[in-house]
Each structure stands twice: as C-alpha cells, then as structure tokens.
Amino acid sequence: MGVLGRVYLMRVDYRQYPSYPRGVIMHLTFGIISAALGSIAIPALLAKDYAAVTFLTLAAEQFRSVRTMERENLSLIEDFELVPRGRSYIEEIAKIFEGRNYIVMLTSLTTSLMLYAFSNTYAAVMVGIIILVLLKYSMKGQRIEEIAKVRIGKVWFDGSLLCVDDVVIMNVGLKETKERILKTGIGVVLEPVDQNANITLANIGQRQAIIHDVVTQVGIKKDLDEPDFTPLARRNVNNGNVAFIFYPSIQSEEALLRAVRYAPVLESARRKPTESGAAYGKGGRR
C-alpha cells in the first residue's frame, strides 16, 4: 500500500522535477524502503521484537538525507538556469520530498495496523487509501491566487525608468532596449488580499519562486548575454502591491496570469501577523 502511495505521489508536472528516469527510480526505491519499514513495525511490536522498531529512527535519519540530497542536486544545477529557483524554493522542494517518505511510512503503518486489528484486507486497504489522501491534502500548500488578486499591469517608461503601473522596476538607458521591452514585456501586478498576504509577498524568496515558476511554464525571450530582459519583481511599499515584468515566449496574457495564479506560496515565506499578539494586542486578531 505504501509503495502504491509513493507512485501516487510521484507526479511529474510543469516543474519537470523529478522528470529523469534515474530520479524517479531513486525516489521509488526510497518509497519501497519507507513502505517496508512502516509495514513491519506492527508485526515487530506484536512479536515483542523491539530492536526491529528502532529501525524507524534510522529511517527518519535516512529521510533527512533525502532532503539533503535534493537540496544539493538542485543547488548544483542552479547556476545553469536562465532564471534560478532561489534558495527558498530549493529548500521547499527538498522538504516536500522528505515529507512524502513520511507519508508512505505512515500509510503502510496504518494499513498494517488495520490488517492485524480486523483481519480484513479490504478494510485495511480502504483505511490506507483514506490516510494517504488525508496526509497528501494536509501537505497541500496555498497558491498565489489564494492570497492575492492577479492582474495585468501597464508597462511604460518615465524617462529612463521602466514602470509597471505605479511601481518602478529598473533603469533602462538604450532606446533599442526600451522598444523591445515595450514590444515583448508584459507586466503583472499582485494585490495582497490582507496583511498576512502583504508580508508574505514581501519575501524575496517568494517573489523569485513565482518568477521561476512562471518562466518554466511560459518561457522567456532572453539569453545569457541579455541581463536587461531578466524578469524582475518590485514592491510598492505604500500598499504592498508587487509588480512583475516578464518577457514570455508565449505572448499570451491569459497564460501568463494563469501561471502566476498557480505559483506556490512557500511555507518559509508565509506570515500571519494578524494572529500575532505583538501586532494586534494580546490574543491576536479580534
């Protein structure tokens, strides 16, 4: 049951990771080990073989090594990305892969427990499926569309200053560069829905993750020697709006907006100041 759960969690999406056969085999192997450890825990306890249960602690250590492995692998290829993920996004991916092994182990453990408790394979499998779905749902993060209104922003120049709506993005000197930006650049503005979202979107790692995610889906009209066409994000400190400038290969505003809306909210970037006693007095928000 745990192995099937790991296959279920092995979803290759637009992020294309893991998309390589070696990576898939590696993660499936860890899934098999996790499932085996989870399934033998109950029989070992019933047989009073407590030494076997200590392998669960060793498994936890191995799962942490999975996180380290993912972090190192992604960091090694970071320099070869036209638009890097950023350290915050890399750490987020690493944590997810570690957590999936715990899900597999808990699914196998629960299935094994139900099988021994009721001696009913069908019931054990059904409970295992329910636990798997619940655990997967509990790990589901937010999307940008849940914390901000996403809309197209006006790209214009104030002299040499590139602006998206009322937010200054950068200084551009060459006339040819300005013309190309006006031709291929598309501005996007995120309007946070509340103070929590405002502070979350202020996180630099979160903004970089959005940029990388969007470029992965809609492409980028840029090469190595064209730093002026790197997608950027800047924040209006007065209202918290975050403005982006993109140069997508797919020149579709709707596709761009959809990509931004579906970008993940990083766990490390999430803030909830409205629930803080320091910000709103004792007891938090009222």
Residue 188 has pLDDT above 60, yes or no: yes
Task: Classify 232 as helix, strand or coil.
Answer: strand
Distance of CA 161 to the CA centre of its chain: 32
Which residue, among 236, 261, 231, has the nearest Cα to 248 in the 3D structure?
231
Does residue 213 have a pLDDT over 60?
yes
Predicted local distance difference test score (pLDDT) of residue 254 = 95
pLDDT at 285 over 60: no
Which tokens is 211 given? 């940029």
**Sign of the dihedral defined by the CA atoms of residues 145, 147, 148, 149, in that order:** positive
Residue with tokens 């350290």: 87
Q: What is the mean pLDDT of residues 114-136?
A: 82
* Residue 264 preceded by cis peptide, ω within 30: no
Burial class for 123, CB neighbours closer than 10 Å (0-12, 13-18, 19+): middle
The beta-strand segments (E) located in 104-225 are 148-153, 155-158, 161-164, 167-171, 186-192
**pLDDT tens digits along 80-122:** 889 999 999 999 888 888 888 888 888 888 888 888 888 888 8
Question: Which distant-in-sequence residues (6+ apart) come within 8 Å of 183 by Cβ?
Answer: none
Average pLDDT of span 41-59:
74
Rounded Cα gap, residues 116 and 43, in angstroms: 8
Q: Tell me the pLDDT tens digit for each residue of 16-39.
A: 454 556 667 777 777 787 787 778
Which tokens is 263 given?
Answer: 């970008």
User: Above 80 in pLDDT, residue 154?
Assistant: yes
Percent of the chain with pLDDT over 90: 44
Strands 232-235 and 155-158: unpaired
User: What is the Cα–Cα distance from 120 to 139, expressed in whole angstroms?
Assistant: 29
Q: Which two tokens stand for residue 245?
A: 């400038």
What DSSP string describes 201-258? HT-HHHHHHHHHHHHHHH--S--TT-GGGS-EEEE-TTT--EEEEE--SS--HHHHHH
